[in-house]
């Protein structure tokens, strides 16, 4: 499972609404714990796929290097990524799978229909090689874990 | 020189985010890295010994692929390498197949 605050969860969904009808993308910084990845900060990234931004995304490696440095400075790691699927289900596509290389990281996908964020699902990239990798559905726990009013979303907002 | 290891590959460097590796060029340093941490080799290189297409290597602030001497660029102790796998995707179907779950 992945743990994320209300604020960050709302923010990454809002990002998808802002960039509609184009895909948004960003990086999740935090820590990997026994209970799953825990997000402490989300960082918006630019989508370099301006040729097909409605159904493709790419984060420039230079921007990833910068974000990884930012994470290191804050004592965090890159624990996942998020992007949106405009007018498309919040499920991984074959393109998402083929381009996924960050084992142990969470890939959050938000469906945005007619400009409104609908569903957010998370998939953990498991396996140890390109040949054995799989996307595993994982539960999204929204809210601070210690808070009594913690809300658990089973992959759906 | 220092090499920064991305999250998914740290399980092969004993959990270290940064490792110190000696080498005269980028290529030699990467090869030494894969010698020091053998499990990394298959993740960094193809069977033919080429860097995998989705593995980006930055020499300080520059993408090694765009340097004049590419992987043969000379390095010194104060330089840093950063390994960063690519991140991309999208809702579009791949190679004509659309098989969202």
Share of chain B above pLDDT 70, in %: 91
DSSP 8-class letter at B64: G
Contact (CB<8Å) A79/B42: no
Q: Which residue has the tokens 């945005």?
A: A112
Residue B94: per-residue pLDDT = 54
pLDDT band (50, 70, 90) for residue B30: very high
DSSP string, A27-66: EEEEEEETTEEEEEEEEEE----TTSTTT-EEE-HHHHHH
Smallest CA–CA distance, residue B34 to chain A, in Å, is 16
In DSSP terms, which residues pair with A78 in a beta bridge?
Answer: A29
Helix (H, G, I), strand (E, B) or coil at B20: strand
B42 touches chain A (CB under 8 A): yes
Element (H, E) at B82: strand B80-85
pLDDT in tens, A85-138: 999 999 999 999 999 999 999 999 999 999 999 999 999 999 999 999 999 999
pLDDT value at B97 more than 70 = no
Interchain CB distance below 8 Å, A104 and B90: no
Tell me, what's the pLDDT at B92? 79
* pLDDT value at B38 more than 50: yes
B66 in A contact zone (CB under 8 Å): no
Q: Which of A56, A58, A39, A61 is nearest to A48 (CA)?
A: A58
Chain B: closest CA distance from residue A149 (Å): 31
Q: Is the pLDDT of residue B101 over 60?
A: no
> Are B26 and B64 contacting, i.e. CB atoms less than 8 angstroms apart?
yes
Indicate the pairing of strand B62-63 with strand B80-85. unpaired
Binning pLDDT at 50, 70 and 90, where does residue A152 land? very low
Residue of A nearest to B92 (CA): A55
The whole-number pLDDT of residue B91 equals 87
- Of A77, A91, A104, nearest to B100 by CB-CB distance is A91
| Nearby residues of A11 by Cβ (< 8 Å), 6 or more positions away | A42
Query: Token pair for residue A106?
Result: 């969470």
User: Which chain A residues have a beta carbon less than 8 Å from that of B80?
Assistant: none
Identify all chain B residues contacting A137, using CB atoms and an 8 Å cutoff.
101
Rounded mean pLDDT of chain B?
92
Minimal CA separation from B66 to chain A, in Å: 12
φ/ψ (deg, to 5) at A114: 50, 40
pLDDT value at residue B71: 96
Q: DSSP strand E in chain A: where?
A: 2-4, 25-33, 36-45, 57-59, 77-86, 106-113, 116-126, 134-138, 140-142, 151-153
Question: Does the pLDDT value for residue A40 go beyond 60?
Answer: yes
Does residue A31 have a pLDDT over 80? yes
SS3 B34: helix
Q: Which residues of A touch B93 (CB under 8 A)?
A: 93-95
ipTM: 0.89
- Residue A2 pLDDT more than 90? yes
Mean pLDDT calculated for residue range B3-23: 96
**C-alpha–C-alpha distance, residues B14 and A65, integer Å:** 21
CA separation for the pair B75, B81 (Å, rounded): 9
pLDDT for B98: 52
CB A112 within 8 A of CB A100: no
Is the confidence at residue A149, as pLDDT, over 60?
no
Task: Kindly report the pTM of this predicted structure.
Answer: 0.91
Question: Tell me: the pLDDT tens digits for A45-82?
Answer: 999 999 989 999 999 999 999 999 999 999 999 999 99
Chain A residues with CB under 8 Å of B51 CB are none
d(CA A12, CA B61): 28
């Amino acid at each position: 499972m992945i743990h994320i605050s209300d604020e960050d969860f709302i923010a990454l969904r809002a990002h998808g609404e802002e960039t509609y009808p184009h895909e948004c993308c960003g990086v999740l910084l935090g820590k990997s714990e026994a209970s799953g990845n825990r997000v402490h900060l989300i960082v918006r990234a630019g989508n370099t796929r301006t040729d097909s931004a409605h159904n493709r995304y790419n984060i420039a490696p230079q921007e990833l290097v910068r974000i990884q440095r930012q994470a290191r400075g804050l004592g965090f790691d890159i624990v996942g990524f998020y992007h949106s699927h405009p007018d498309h289900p919040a499920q991984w596509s074959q393109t998402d799978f083929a381009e996924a290389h960050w084992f142990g990281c969470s890939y959050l996908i938000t469906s945005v229909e007619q400009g409104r964020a609908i569903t957010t699902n998370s998939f953990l990239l498991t396996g140890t090689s390109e040949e054995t990798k799989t996307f595993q559905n994982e539960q999204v726990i929204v809210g601070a874990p210690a808070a009594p009013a913690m809300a658990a979303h089973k992959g759906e907002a | 020189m220092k090499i920064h290891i991305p999250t998914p590959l740290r399980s092969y460097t004993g959990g270290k985010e940064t490792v110190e590796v000696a080498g005269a060029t980028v290529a030699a340093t990467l090869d030494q890295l894969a010698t020091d941490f053998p499990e990394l080799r298959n993740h960094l290189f193809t069977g033919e010994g080429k860097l995998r297409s989705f593995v980006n290597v930055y020499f300080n602030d520059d993408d090694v692929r765009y340097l004049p001497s590419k992987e043969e660029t000379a390095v010194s102790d104060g330089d840093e390498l950063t390994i960063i796998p690519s991140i991309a995707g999208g809702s579009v179907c791949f190679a004509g197949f659309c098989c969202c779950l």
